[in-house]
Structure 1
Amino acid sequence: MDPKLLATLASIVTQTLVYSTPLILTALGGVFSERGGIVNVGLEGIMVMGAFSSIVFNLTFADVLGAWTPWVACLVGAGVGMVFSLLHAVATVNLRADHIISGTVVNLMAPALAVFLIKVIYGKGQTEMIKESFGYFSFPILKDIPILGELFFRKTSLPAYVAIVIAVLAWFIVYKTKFGLRLRAVGENPQAADTLGINVYLMRYSGVLLSGVLGGMGGAVFAQTISGRFAITTIAGQGFIAMAAMIFGKWNPLGAMGAALFFGFAQNLSIAGSDIPFIANIPKVYLESLPYVLTIIVLVIFLGKASGPKAGGQNYIKSK
């Protein structure tokens, strides 16, 4: 293969993985929440809090933790995302609030709270660039495989492969474990699940909190691989794109991962498009808007046809 063509393809693959990783993680979080019957449109806000907390942690502890800083910061983002998702869980499970309204409140509150805290901590509306980011990783031995090594395993995104492993584990959990069976039962028919002794409230809390963990990780990965700092525009619609990936993937972890890779490729076109012959002449502004246009198209076409959990968005009252 022509070395220049191979280098171009390798760059496209790597950048697609970089942009897909936050979407994969956040879409998986949406799968867990909605499989339990709780519609979580607050994924955007959860990503914002994950991004905010991870950047603050990174800036604070980079000199201490060194290269491990972004990985630990991801765990911090996951924890903060879980705590923040607790607001949505309490509102929808205990207080029986409308799921869409509760998620919208989360989305409205998160950016304002994060920017306020940034101003309190740093005295301005955005942070400095982080010192330690994920960067690129080459797999030993695998990187030396002809063509495939150059495309997938040399100077690639390690968090992307972690996200792919998490997606496979999520599929196994949802479809092959007792927890997954109970979660799906609660999302399909909570009354029937309750009569079988399944704690509906506990399962729904578990789904929402898992969405907080994965959404927080998604925001942390995005902030530490793509933006490099936190500002109010850091997470600009990524949570909604992840929701579209979840719907496009039919609430299946592997399907959501595939859809997230597709949207990640669409986002990457705005950067790599100039190197692709058929796309190079398209104005950059059109390529930059492509992921959001595709999100709308996917929601319009597939939302009506996709059959999500039957009890999705419905509040459950145990006394009934």
Structure 2
Amino acid sequence: MSTLAPTDAADGTVQLATVRERHFKVPIVLAAATVLLAALFLFVPRDGVSTFRGGGALPDVALPTATTSWIVVALLAVLAIWSFVDAWAYRKPALWISITFGVLAVFAFLVWSAAGGLVPISSLLFGAVSLSVPLVFGALGGVIGERAGVVNVAIEGQLLLGAFSAALLASITHNPYVGLIGAMIGGVLVSFVLAAFAIKYLVDQVIVGVVLNVLVTGLTGFLYGALLVPNEELLNRPVRFTRMPIPFLSDIPIIGPVLFDQTFIVYLMYVTVAVVAWALYRTKWGLRLRAVGEHPTAADTVGIRVNPTRFWNVSLAGAIAGIGGAYFTLVSVPQFGKEMTAGLGFIALAAVIFGRWDPIRATLAALLFGFATNLQNLLTVLKTPIPSEFMLMLPYVVTILAVAGFAGQIRGPAASGKPYIKG
């Protein structure tokens, strides 16, 4: 990074000199990860053969566990050194280095974990995408809300009420699409309360979001016990979405079953990510949204109604997050359960930060966290020597490392969390 600093010339005039900074955060993280993997392979060695199954007509690939693991560690060391060289030369380490390093590190860990076992690649990726769907919708809702200037800590509540509404309406009407609409309404209701208190009554947005999460958790828990449990067959047996394979595309090896043999909500996720990413930067709506979140006074000066714009966009964010809640009861689980979102709303909020308040990056971050969750399930099946308690911690550890290690000190929308008072 280059900045300009004033310097005094010999003739007394002030000149600007370029001050360059070295970026060592990413190299240090890569080096630490390399050392940790090397220590794991050294002190807990595993021999045998690791088999990877691609599925379909692809043959299984068998790799010698120890040899492959150490070869990949050597490649990781090269990438870490490369990033240090870039940083020392005042160059910001390229993004491809971090991506390649992450893929290779996961591959090395899978090889070590699968000694004498089998890793089904398609199943691993399919599960990762499935677990990521609520996170992606929640992260998109968080991006829209914070871009509008409202910190959306209530994603957890929006997911939970969306799941409850979807289960209830889909059970009554026997129509999953009605349940999906109900989930969106549930998410809007939570965001409506958030917007009212944060924008109109100027209550601290983080406090309102936390209180809403607690309120929705208690409310859905009460309604579950008082309404759904006694009438389970009538009110808690939602009709679920079935898979809709796309012809030809679903037959592509590995990625076909993962991406194109999915349910309606997953396809809706693809469309929603693309539309939000395009509209945020290329439409009048996106320009106004970013304006009220970055500099509301300037937006007000040019005629943009700041608070109404924030209000309706927070409501839109709630509707999108509600779709993520519908995935729990209309795809994953055939009924609603108490606190079934299990804190995923906060993981989605972490994806927003890790993704730097950008729809595409937030989606990739959500996919990363979903992959970590599914990886934890696979490692439990493979009976790796890592304690089961650590396996349960893995998704949250990845979340912390991602936000603290790679996100670093980043700046969100300038007016996020700050109420706007006209005049």
Does the alignment reach a TM-score above 0.5? yes
Counterpart of 1:141?
248
Return the letter of the residue paired with 1:50. G
Q: Distance in 2 between matches of 1:114 and 1:55?
A: 12
Return the letter of the residue paired with 1:60. I
Which structure would you say has the larger Rg? 2
Going from structure 1 to structure 2, the CA distance change for 1:177 and 1:129 (only over 3 Å counts) comes to: same
Q: Distance in 1 between matches of 2:329 and 2:394?
A: 21
- 1:244-277 CA deviation, whole Å, 9 max, x = no partner? 111111100011111010011011112233566x
**TM-score under structure 2 length normalisation:** 0.68
Q: Distance in 1 between matches of 2:321 and 2:377?
A: 25
- 1:109-136 CA deviation, whole Å, 9 max, x = no partner? 0011112222332356989863532343
- 1:79 lines up with 2:127 in the alignment: no
Q: Distance in 2 between matches of 1:269 and 1:144?
A: 24
Counterpart of 1:21?
133
Return the letter of the residue paired with 2:54. L
SS for the counterpart of 2:202 is: coil
Counterpart of 1:286?
390
Counterpart of 1:214?
320
- Quote how far apart the aligned CAs of 1:214 are: 1.0
Match of 1:114 among 182, 200, 220: 220
Q: How does 1:184-199 map to 2 (within 5 A)?
A: 184-199=290-305
Q: Distance in 2 between matches of 1:159 and 1:149?
A: 17
Structure 1 vs Structure 2: percent identity of aligned residues?
Answer: 37
- 1:5 lines up with 2:111 in the alignment: no
**TM-score under structure 1 length normalisation:** 0.88
Q: How does 1:54-93 map to 2 (within 5 A)?
A: 54-62=166-174, 65=175, 69=176, 71-93=177-199
Given that 1:24 and 1:256 are in contact with CA atoms closer than 8 Å, whether structure 2 keeps it comes out as: yes
Report the structure, 1 or 2, having the larger helix content.
1
Q: How does 1:1-320 map to 2 (within 5 A)?
A: 5-7=53-55, 8-62=120-174, 65=175, 69=176, 71-123=177-229, 130-154=237-261, 156-274=262-380, 280-301=384-405, 305-319=409-423
- 1:137-158 CA deviation, whole Å, 9 max, x = no partner? 322121233454345434x454
- Quote how far apart the aligned CAs of 1:37 are: 0.6
SS for the counterpart of 1:291 is: helix
Q: Which has the higher contact order (CA 8 A, sep 6+)?
A: 1
Going from structure 1 to structure 2, the CA distance change for 1:148 and 1:220 (only over 3 Å counts) comes to: closer
Going from structure 1 to structure 2, the CA distance change for 1:94 and 1:303 (only over 3 Å counts) comes to: farther
Return the letter of the residue paired with 2:413. P
Going from structure 1 to structure 2, the CA distance change for 1:123 and 1:14 (only over 3 Å counts) comes to: closer
Report the structure, 1 or 2, having the larger strand content.
2
Extract unaligned runs of 5+ from structure 1.
none
Q: What stretches of structure 1 move > 4 A for 4+ residues in a row?
A: 123-129, 301-304
Counterpart of 2:74?
none
Return the letter of the residue paired with 1:138. P
What is the aligned-residue RMSD (CA, Å)? 2.4
